């Protein structure tokens, strides 16, 4: 197993409902370490850029509206197989299909307001991390 980095977002519904600590605890207690974190409020342009891969999808406009509706927390998680581990901890995109005990099963409001985002592959992780963080904003983990 290799050490990886992945981008995680706590979406507006999670921040609004005071779930930041709860969500971060899920990652930390499963062996992922936060090596960069900030709270930001995306502009429309920033949200459109981040989700550009979905721009032809019917839900794109609504997704951008939602992602700009309030602050989010962006964080970089590091650990063994961090990309797949993060996705396991989050659960399926659609909370109705998410496994018991996952963040989305327990906390998501809907398919759109699904509380968290996580990179899906090494290439997207690199792109998504660079979208929000410069290398100097990421600390060297102690573990």
Which residues carry out catalysis? Answer: 117
Site membership for ligand CMP, residue 104 (CB under 6 A): no
Site membership for ligand CMP, residue 69 (CB under 6 A): no
Nearer Cβ to ligand CMP (59/131): 59
Site membership for ligand CMP, residue 131 (CB under 6 A): no
Site membership for ligand CMP, residue 111 (CB under 6 A): yes
Of 19, 24, 42, 63, the residue at the interface with ligand CMP (CB under 6 A) is 63
Applying the rule CB under 6 A, the residues between 1 and 60 that interact with ligand CMP are 54, 59
Q: Identify the burial level of 128 via C-beta atoms within 10 angstroms of its C-beta, where 0-12 means exposed, 13-18 middle and 19 or more buried.
A: buried
Kindly state the tokens that stand for 16. Answer: 């609004």
Beta bridge partners of 76: 7, 36
Beta bridge partners of 69: none
Residues recorded for the chain: 143
Of 117, 119, 125, 132, the residue at the interface with ligand CMP (CB under 6 A) is 117
- Are 86 and 8 within 8 A, CB to CB? yes
């Amino acid at each position: 197993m290799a050490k990886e980095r992945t981008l995680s977002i706590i979406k507006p519904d999670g921040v609004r409902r005071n779930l930041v600590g709860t969500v971060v605890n899920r990652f930390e207690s499963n062996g992922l370490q936060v090596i960069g974190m900030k709270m930001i409020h995306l502009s429309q342009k920033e949200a459109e850029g981040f989700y550009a891969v979905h721009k032809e999808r019917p839900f794109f406009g609504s997704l951008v509206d939602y992602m700009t509706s309030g602050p989010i927390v962006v964080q970089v998680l590091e650990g063994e197989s961090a990309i797949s581990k993060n996705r396991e901890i989050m659960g399926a995109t659609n909370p109705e299909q998410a496994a018991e005990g996952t963040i989305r099963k327990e906390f998501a409001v809907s398919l759109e307001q699904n509380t968290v985002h996580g990179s899906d592959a090494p290439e997207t992780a690199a792109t998504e991390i660079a979208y929000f963080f410069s290398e100097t904003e990421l600390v060297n983990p102690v573990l």
